[in-house]
Amino acid sequence: MLEARELGCERDERQLFADLNFSLERGDVLRVEGPNGSGKSTLLRCLAGLTSDHEGQVFWRGMELSRCREAFALDLLYLGHRPGVEAVLTPLENLAWYQDLAAAGGRADASAALDAAGLAGYELVPCAQLSAGQHRRVALARLWLKAGDVWLLDEPLTYIDAEGTNAIAERIEAHRRGGGVVVYATHTGLPLDGEQVLRIGMPVAGSPARDHAR
């Protein structure tokens, strides 16, 4: 489903990660860990095809990403570090915009998604009046809409309480049972069984200035 071959990236003359190789099949979940500035967000952007400023290659369903960007975009749900919520719109309007863009579900589905994300009763409140945690929940509500098979989630647990964390874990479990693939970056893991872990930004013994991945 998703494969990285010799993936590497450098920023400001600093190697964030190098020679990353992994392959994810249907039902796989990969947790990306690392300190702030280690390149977790950059790695997800490389996998999403949002930047070509990197070494190595990314493959989707056996095809090199640069040759199938349009098809891959239809199979991708990418949630960045920022929630990507328009403040002047309501949560329901934000999801309606996404649904029009991605052709994912209808209005009833959007209301159910917001309820599942913990925003019942806030559907028609302008997002400018909501908290940072509620903004994050508006973005995460997309997980409960009809979405692609590949999910790339950057710090999905930011501003999310224990109840919300459990809801996200359950949704990811349902997605992987349906054959989906999930890569998520976080400082704290989710209660998921059998997930793979990729640690980046860890110093090599005897060479503290160089970052690496394992």
Beta strand pairing call for 181-185 and 150-154:
parallel
Grouping H, G, I as helix, E, B as strand and the rest as coil, residue 123 is coil
Rounded to whole angstroms, how far apart are CA atoms 14 and 46?
Answer: 17
Enclosing domain of residue 118: 85-146
Q: Is 69 in the same domain as 95?
A: no
Q: Is 58 in the same domain as 89?
A: no
Domain assignment of residue 183, yes or no = yes
Q: What is the pLDDT along the chain (214 residues), one digit of tens a residue?
A: 999 999 988 877 778 888 899 999 999 999 999 888 888 999 999 999 988 788 899 999 999 998 998 899 889 999 988 888 999 999 999 998 888 776 655 566 889 999 999 999 999 999 999 999 999 999 999 999 877 899 999 999 888 889 999 999 999 999 999 999 999 998 877 888 889 999 987 544 333 333 333 3
Domain assignment of residue 80, yes or no = no
The last residue of one of the domains, among 111, 128, 146, is 146
Q: Is 95 in the same domain as 131?
A: yes
Q: How many residues does the chain have?
A: 214
The confidence score (pLDDT) of residue 59 equals: 95
